[in-house]
């Protein structure tokens, strides 16, 4: 199980430090989930400093450019993340797609570049409400997953990627997909992975769910078949509620 927190544009350096001072990983867990936090890039050094007294949390970046360096005002490059000892990077979050024009082709480039630099991309896919109402969930997920896999192709030893299914209509809306919806979508994603990579490799790729995950619904979502963890936005901003979600992820892996 993986429990990941996406802080989005919240928690500047001081506030990140304060979160990590307050965050206490739950004790007595049957099986500890892997815990990742994605702070705003500027807060990464402060978060790293505060983590020295708080093992068990890994840090990631919310975005990066695919180029190594260049005239790209406002962007952050993969080697810069590597220099900060960052291992994880979110790619293709729906907010990047919706507000910053990130395309499927950009996602392919970012996944490829992340892997080339030894970073582990967590690539987000998910349909909008309109696409869902038009009955296009499967088609949209397939297209997005294929673009992620295109970026991962040719990397020695397997794709080294993680996916997050984040239906756009469930993000920040308080409207969570039901465990049945989630398991169906994850099954579709797993099917596309298996078609491209074969069943064995497809089974190895974790698929997280994201969209209004809260302490109250986290355990139910993580128990659903094919769900290997959660990507949490709003509820990851408070150390206690994030710890409660981490505790909900301690029940062990139930992929199938
Ligand atoms: P939310 O965001 O938990 O606030 O819905 C999830 C995400 O965007 O990753």
Residue closest by Cα to atom 9 of ligand 1: 233
> What distance in angstroms lies between residue 94's CA and the mean position of ligand 1's atoms?
10
- Nearest-atom index, ligand 1, CA of 8: 8
Q: What is the pLDDT of residues 74-92, one digit of tens each?
A: 999 999 999 999 999 999 9
pLDDT of residue 248: 94
Catalytic (active site) residue 166:
yes
DSSP calls for 87-150: -EEEES-HHHHHHH---HHHHHHHHHHHHHTT-EEEEEE---HHHHHTT-HHHHHHHHHHHHHH
Q: What is the pLDDT of residues 104-147, one digit of tens each?
A: 999 999 999 999 999 999 999 999 999 999 999 999 999 999 99
Domains along the chain with CATH numbers: 2-241 (3.20.20.70)
> What distance in angstroms lies between residue 23's CA and the mean position of ligand 1's atoms?
19
Given pLDDT bands bounded at 50, 70 and 90, which one contains residue 250? confident
- pTM metric for this prediction: 0.95
Residue 55 has pLDDT above 90, yes or no: no
Residue 53 has pLDDT above 70, yes or no: no
């Amino acid at each position: 199980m993986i429990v990941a927190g996406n802080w989005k544009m919240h928690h500047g350096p001081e506030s990140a430090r304060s979160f990590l001072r307050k965050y206490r990983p739950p004790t007595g867990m049957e099986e500890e989930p892997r815990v990742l936090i994605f702070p705003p890039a500027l807060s990464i050094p402060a978060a790293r400093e505060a983590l020295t007294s708080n093992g068990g949390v890994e840090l990631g970046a919310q975005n990066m450019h695919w180029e190594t360096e260049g005239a790209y005002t406002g962007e952050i490059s993969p080697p810069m993340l590597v220099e900060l000892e960052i291992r994880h990077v979110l790619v293709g979050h729906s907010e990047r797609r919706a507000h910053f024009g990130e395309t499927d082709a950009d996602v392919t480039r970012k996944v490829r570049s992340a892997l080339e630099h030894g970073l582990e991309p967590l690539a987000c896919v998910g349909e909008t409400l309109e696409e869902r109402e038009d009955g296009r969930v499967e088609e949209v997920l397939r297209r997005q997953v294929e673009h992620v896999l295109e970026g991962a192709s040719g990397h020695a030893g397997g794709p080294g990627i993680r996916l997050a299914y984040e239906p756009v209509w469930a993000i920040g809306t308080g409207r969570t997909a039901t465990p049945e919806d989630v398991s169906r979508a994850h099954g579709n994603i797993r099917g596309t992975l298996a078609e491209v990579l074969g069943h064995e490799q497809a089974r190895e790729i974790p698929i997280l769910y994201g969209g209004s995950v809260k302490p109250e619904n986290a355990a139910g979502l993580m128990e659903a078949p094919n769900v290997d963890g959660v990507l949490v936005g709003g509820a990851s901003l408070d150390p206690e509620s994030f710890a409660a979600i981490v505790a909900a992820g301690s029940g062990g892996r139930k992929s199938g």
